[in-house]
Chain A
């Protein structure tokens, strides 16, 4: 699970090993879709992608490919555009006045930016987990069932099964199975974040976008989320934005380094952390700035 990069990058002083927490092997039966294509095929492709907020040129000529059923990490200092880029992939920027983009951004070969693209359908296919856990002030069950209920009508037994499988997939089922009807706000931060992952999974997405999913969590919860990310990789294309370079090294297969709105370097995580081609990447991953 923790291959090459962690051997060189892990700093034993401030990280707890994900292996300490033994999670139940998730059961994906109805929660996960059949992957759309073979692993490693390109799922998301950006070509000369530019993004603006009003006059501010936030992303400049981004070209990269995100492989299917792999974890891709976006790293870089604050304000480098990595979260902005993530938010274009499910069109969350649509609600921001003055946000616009040019160039190419595709999912499974289909244009993501097109005005005629069905955004509701897109977001069913591309789930998102946010920086701060944001469960709805509803019961645990209703949080997970929220997305499925939007898109289909279910027999209640089918919905129960979907909720259970989604919670199992997010490694939360055993902790909450006896209190599905109680408020999600009674959960701890780490549990809330896993609930948000279960909520995203329940819709049956192909891609999971995670915007600094552990930055509001304690180290132990972080470890459990990281292990979960590794286990979800078999079923989902995952893109994770993180400020924590050890985390990028631990959980990702591919890493993209952003700096001042440009993509500086993108490659296998081992390469980026042990043998970067660009001087700025090297300075950043070795902690010399940022």
Chain B
């Protein structure tokens, strides 16, 4: 223990030393703050402006498309035939593309949402720490594989398997093969984000549950999953949004025939695959087909926006505070 005199001497020298050096003026401080604030605002505005520009272009081109003589808005929103490139008479009814997109998304979701949740429960509640620290990065690497790889995986592995072992009716291009590949692509999103949500549930709730005589499965299903539900649903919605917008896999593996079908063995075309087809040069610039892809893009944008809004409403309604 130091004595009181030594302490007060040290305190006086510290006070003297703190006044040495050159003082930073108030004007310099305020100037720096202004520059920083301006730079931050500029970055924020840039991102908002680019999104806004895309939206304006989409809407403007869609308006021009709907105003063209070959097109009727009524047919576009209600029609069930989409044949912009084939035959003498062109038909622009959006529904075949919408149902194609929804079928692929439904197949992917039916596979990835439950499996991803099970993987997340395993990682969060059952896996020993060593297994988890090994598996979690693998999942995240899986999420970084370029989707074109999943596309030719669907063409060269999944579809031949379906053809040989499930049904002869699966052709080279089919919805199920592409849907499963999209499902594999979004699986890590569901697993990784759901696992984060499960792990965020406080340990005290697990303790309370096991102290009442719960098995690990009871605790997982009756306490942890309900408590993490909002995060799990958020991961599902993000995954579904990714599946809706997925392009490369379906362009490669689902085919290019736009028609209304619920048969997973059929070839079909999604909204994204149609846009690829147009912009890869099958259609002359500023023609009706060219503009039609903007209209399709607007519909897709509206679908994902709607899903995001519904998701946010859901999260707000069901968010459970832990404590």
Is there a chain B Cβ closer than 8 Å to A5's Cβ? no
Q: Is the CB of B205 within 8 A of A150?
A: no
Q: Say yes or no: A137 contacts B208, CB within 8 Å.
A: no
Contact A151 B213 (CB under 8 A): yes
Which of A121, A130, A132, A185 touches B213 (beta carbons < 8 Å)? A121
- Using known A-B contacts A134-B204, A136-B223, determine if residue A123 contacts B211 with beta carbons closer than 8 Å: yes
* Residue A147 interfacial (CB < 8 Å): yes
A-B complex: 7 closest residue pairs judged by Cβ atoms: A147-B212, A128-B211, A134-B204, A137-B320, A123-B213, A124-B213, A134-B208
B321 adjacent to A185 (CB under 8 Å): yes
Quick one: given A146-B222, A185-B321, A185-B323, are A136 and B211 in contact (CB under 8 Å)? no
A266 sits at the interface (CB 8 A): no
* Interface assignment of B214: CB less than 8 Å from any CB of chain A: yes
Q: Which residues of A81-134 are within 8 A (CB) of B?
A: 90, 92, 95, 97, 120-121, 123-124, 127-128, 130, 132, 134
B131 CB to closest chain A CB (Å) equals: 13
Contact with A along B219-237 (1 / 0, CB 8 A): 0001100110000000000
Q: In whole angstroms, what is the CA distance A90 to B209 when docked?
A: 13
**Known A137-B321, A137-B322; contact A150-B207, beta-carbon cutoff 8 A:** no
Neighbour of B208 across the interface among A90, A97, A136, A185, CB < 8 A? A136
The reply to whether B208 and A123 form a contact with Cβ atoms under 8 Å apart is no
18-54 of chain B: CB within 8 A of chain A: none
Name A191-238 residues within 8 Å CB distance of B: 196, 199-200, 203
Kindly identify, within residues 167 to 204 of chain A, every residue whose CB is under 8 Å from any CB belonging to chain B.
185, 196, 199-200, 203
State the CA gap A137–B320 with chains docked (Å): 6
Residues facing A in B73-129 (CB within 8 A) are 129
Interface residues of A (CB under 8 A from B): 90, 92, 95, 97, 120-121, 123-124, 127-128, 130, 132, 134-138, 146-147, 150-151, 185, 196, 199-200, 203
Complex CA gap A26/B211 in Å reads 24
CA gap between A81 and B209 in the complex, in Å? 23
Question: In the complex, A135→B202 CA distance in Å?
Answer: 11
Question: Please, which residues of chain B bring their CB within 8 A of the CB of A137?
Answer: 205, 226-227, 320-322
Identify the closest chain B residue to A97 (Cβ). B129
A130 and B321 in contact (CB under 8 A), knowing A121-B213, A150-B213?
A: no
Apart from A92-B207, A123-B213, A185-B321, what are 11 other A-B pairs with CB-CB below 8 Å? Answer: A123-B212, A130-B211, A134-B204, A134-B323, A136-B205, A136-B227, A137-B227, A146-B209, A150-B222, A196-B208, A199-B212
Closest A residue to B128 by beta carbon equals: A97
Tell me the minimal C-beta distance from B33 to chain A in angstroms.
Answer: 41
Q: How far is the CA of A79 from the CA of B222 in the complex (A)?
A: 33
Residue of B nearest to A125 (CB): B213
- Nearest Cβ in chain A — how far from B21, in angstroms? 43
A134 to chain B, nearest CB (A): 4
Quick check: B205 and A134 within 8 Å, CB to CB?
yes
* Known contacts A95-B210, A137-B320, A120 near B215 by CB under 8 Å: yes
Can you list 13 A-B pairs, Cβ within 8 angstroms, ordered by A? A120-B214, A120-B215, A121-B213, A132-B204, A132-B323, A136-B205, A137-B226, A146-B209, A151-B213, A185-B321, A196-B208, A199-B212, A203-B213
Are B204 and A150 interface neighbours, CB within 8 A?
A: no
A49 to chain B, nearest CB (A): 20
B282 within 8 A of A: no
Q: A134 CA to B227 CA in the complex, in Å?
A: 13
Across the two chains, which residue of chain B brings its CB closest to A203? Answer: B212
Complex interface: chain B residues within 8 A of A130 (CB):
204, 207-208, 211
Collect the chain A residues with CB atoms within 8 Å of residue B211's CB: 90, 92, 123, 127-128, 130, 200
CB neighbours (8 Å) of B223 from chain A are 136
Measured CB to CB, the nearest residue on chain A to B320 is A137
Contacting residues, chain A, for B207 (C-beta < 8 A): 92, 128, 130, 134
B209 / chain A contacts, CB cutoff of 8 Å: 136, 146
Is A123 in contact with B204, judged by CB distance below 8 angstroms? Answer: no
CB under 8 Å from chain A, chain B span 180-231: 202, 204-205, 207-215, 218, 222-223, 226-227
With a cutoff of 8 Å between Cβ atoms, the chain A residues found around residue B218 in the complex are: 150
Contacts of B210 in A (CB 8 A): 92, 95, 123
Closest chain-A Cβ to B213's Cβ sits at a distance in Å of 4
Q: Which residue of B202, B212, B226, B321 has the most chain A CB atoms within 10 A of its CB atom? A: B212
Please indicate the chain A residues that have their CB under 8 angstroms from the CB of B226 in the complex: 137-138
Name the residue of chain B whose CB is nearest to the CB of A137.
Answer: B320
Bound state CA distance, A97 and B213, in angstroms? 20
Q: Give Cα A151 to B227, complex, Å.
A: 21
CB-nearest residue of chain B to A149: B222
How many angstroms between the C-alpha atoms of A289 and B211 in the bound complex?
33
For A203, list chain B residues within 8 Å (CB).
Answer: 212-213
A214 vs chain B, min Cβ distance (A): 16
**A31 to B209, alpha carbons, bound, how many Å?**
19
B212 touches A200 (CB 8 A): yes
Q: Roughly how many angstroms separate A200 CA and B209 CA in the complex, as a whole number?
A: 10
A150 to B212, CA, bound (A): 8
B227–A147 CB distance below 8 A: no
In the complex, which residues of chain B have a beta carbon less than 8 angstroms from the beta carbon of A121? 213
CA distance A130 to B129 in the complex (A): 25
CA distance A150 to B208 in the complex (A): 13
Q: Within the assembled complex, what's the spacing in Å between the Cα atoms of A147 and B129?
A: 28
Question: With the chains together, A95 CA to B125 CA distance in Å?
Answer: 11
Residue of B nearest to A196 (CB): B208
Q: Give the chain B neighbours of A136 by CB distance below 8 A.
A: 205, 208-209, 223, 227
